[in-house]
Structure 1
Amino acid sequence: MFGIPLFDLAWLTSALLVAGGLTGLLAGVFGVGGGALAVPVLYELFTYLDVPEEVRMPLCVGTSLAVIIPTSIRSFRAHRAKGAVDMSILKVWAVPVVIGVAAGSLIARYAPAELFKAVFVAVAGVSALRLLLGKDSWNFGTTMPGRALMIFYGWIIGILSALMGIGGGQLSSLFMTFYGRPIHQAVATSSGLGILISIPGALGYIYAGWPRAAEFPDVSALQPPLALGYVSLLGLVAFIPTSTLAAPLGAKLAHTLSKRQLEIAFGIFLLFVCVRFLIDLLD
């Protein structure tokens, strides 16, 4: 089927279903969109499947961005219905974020695999330190900065999100809370960034990975109809249903933990991922 052994296709699909369920469970526990979780889970899976190092990380990132599309749309609609989204911030960020995503996708076409890991290590590391060591008194001010600085931040969030395979919520929520916005409003407003980042990001990774896929004709994970460029269609189809089913279970588990326990658990998880990618970088 599709030029690959049926057993390999069945194994890949089964592994992705399990990985999607694990990602959904962890996303439910930690209350994030899943990108920061999907990328390392996909990376371990594609490592086990011997996907070449040169394309492994961007394939994880592109697939993660595609997975985020339906969940970000659903999340944004729910938050907006409750009136929790600050649309004035999204209007300022809309254009620079999309421009940043486009730039990140273009970088992905030519960047070495090490760049993706380095960005993930840097951003996840800062987030982990904030979760583990941060205090409510850590802030840059009590009001959001001016328009010029907001545009710059939006551009940076777009680039980093595109290179990490996340919907931007982790970065924008961190930014907004540093300027005194309540965490619930920060999370709700950040959900809108998922749409602005995931759709152009996934399309950008399809474009970025298309010529690279031709360089690895013996790797089925990069070839249509199993993938479009750097977006694994099997990963997309398998992740969405199982992660959606598992997320409520993770959410129930989260309610058994305190806010501080969740922060510590997620911070430790991010540090573990940082160490994992850092070891690869230093090899």
Structure 2
Amino acid sequence: MDVVLNNLPTIFALITTGIFAGLLAGLLGVGGGIVIVPVLYFLFQNFDVSAQSAMLIATATSLATIVPTSISTIRAHQSIGNLDFRLLKSWGPYILVGVVLGSLLVTQYGGQWLSGLFALVACLSALNMLFRAGKAALADSLPGKVGQGVIASCIGFFSAMVGIGGGTLSVPVLTAYSYPAHKAVGTASGIGLIISLPAAITMLTFGVTPSDAPFGTYGLVNLLGFVCIVPLTVIFAPMGAKLARKMDALLLKKVFAVVLLITGLRMFAQLFI
């Protein structure tokens, strides 16, 4: 009981993170990781965790939360035929190689440079939402087997390093090659599981817990954060989806993109100033 009372501010903040991430995921159709990582990054620093440790733990914890979310999303998309098993089978081994390399790199050499990498991904994602939405595809079809292997490996590598599921990178990449948008979103849930499960296990097993880590951290995963965030994202994501039907989805996405861009720039500023 004393442990719970002593960590009530952290628990409350993590619960708020779960609600916020769930609502945004439902409202905007964005992956939870792109929301959870920056929120946890700044949140942990408010509890006397260094920026370097905060980024490592935020990345690993975000990946852990994506595992159950991906499983539930896979079922939903499979039921309506939006899951491309052929693409998952083709891309899976390449994604896995990228994930293992990226995860091990984080556990062995993780540091402030991760903040810069996430900030770059966040800024590019925000700019894509602001300026690429509704634009014509860049190519008529996906490249050959070698090209797809390189794309899949890079998606796994960078997603694992910055704590995001496959959607943030795979959806814009697939749609840029004229891949149907609804199938890209559905298949991204499967890509998210291929990324998050091995990455979370690697960071839980091989990650060394920082000395200033918040309560409940094992390896690099904050299990308290996992327990607080996952149920609430599952509960509040459908609520966000219902709200989205009553609101201007395009305007919401642009507002989120601006907030994400500001967040990325702030992370860059903290890194270099």
TM-score bracket for the superposition, by shorter chain length: over 0.9
Equivalent runs, 1:19-30 vs 2, <5 Å: 19-30=17-28
Contact 2:22 2:233 in 1 (8 A): yes
- Give 1:209 shift: 2.0
Is 2:15 the counterpart of 1:17? yes
Q: Distance in 2 between matches of 1:242 and 1:136?
A: 32
RMSD of equivalent CA atoms? 1.8
- Residue 132 of structure 2 is matched in structure 1 by 134
Pairing partner for 1:243 from 218, 233, 237: 233
Structure 2 Cα separation of the partners of residues 229 and 160 of structure 1: 20
Corresponding letter in the other structure for 2:235: L
How far has the Cα of 1:241 moved from its partner? 1.4
Aligned residue number for residue 144 of structure 1: 142
Does structure 1 retain, via aligned residues, the 8 Å contact 2:95–2:195? yes
In the alignment, the residues of structure 2 paired with residue 102 and residue 153 of structure 1 have an alpha-carbon distance, to the nearest angstrom, of 15
Give the corresponding residue for 2:38. 40
**Corresponding residue SS for 1:160:** helix
- In the alignment, structure 1 residue 56 sits paired with structure 2 residue 54: yes
State TM-score, norm by structure 2: 0.94
Question: Are 1:84 and 1:189, in contact at CA under 8 Å, matched by a contact in 2?
Answer: yes
Q: TM-score, normalised by structure 1?
A: 0.90
Report matched runs for 1:113-262 at 5 Å: 113-134=111-132, 136-210=134-208, 213=209, 216=211, 219=212, 221=214, 226-262=216-252
Alpha-carbon distance between aligned partners in 2 of 1:94 and 1:88, rounded to the nearest angstrom: 10
Deviation at 1:280, TM superposition (A): 1.0
Aligned length: 273
Assess if the C-alpha contact under 8 Å between 1:105 and 1:208 holds in 2: no
Structure 2: where are the runs of 5+ without partners?
A: none
Offset from partner CA, 1:220-273 (integer Å, 9 cap, x none): 626xxx122110000000001122222222222222233421331231122022
Given that residues 33 and 71 in structure 1 are in contact (C-alpha distance below 8 angstroms), is that contact kept between their aligned partners in structure 2?
no
Q: Residues 53 and 213 of structure 2 are in contact (CA less than 8 Å); yes or no, is this contact kept in structure 1? A: no
Q: Secondary structure at the match of 1:221?
A: coil
Matched, 1:102 2:100: yes
Tell me the residue number matched to 2:259.
Answer: 269
Structure 2: how far apart are the matches of 1:178 and 1:172? 10
1:138-186 superposed Cα distances (whole Å, 9 cap, x missing partner): 4321111111110110100001101111111111101111011221111
Per-residue Cα deviation, 1:17-56 (whole angstroms, up to 9, x for no partner): 1221111112121112311001111112101111122311
- Name stretches of at least 5 consecutive residues in structure 1 with no aligned partner: none
Q: Percent identity?
A: 37
**8 Å Cα contact 1:108-1:208 kept in structure 2:** no
Counterparts of 1:28 and 1:158, CA distance in 2 = 24
CA distance, structure 2, for counterparts of residue 112 and residue 64 of structure 1: 15
Change (3 A) 1:148 1:30: same
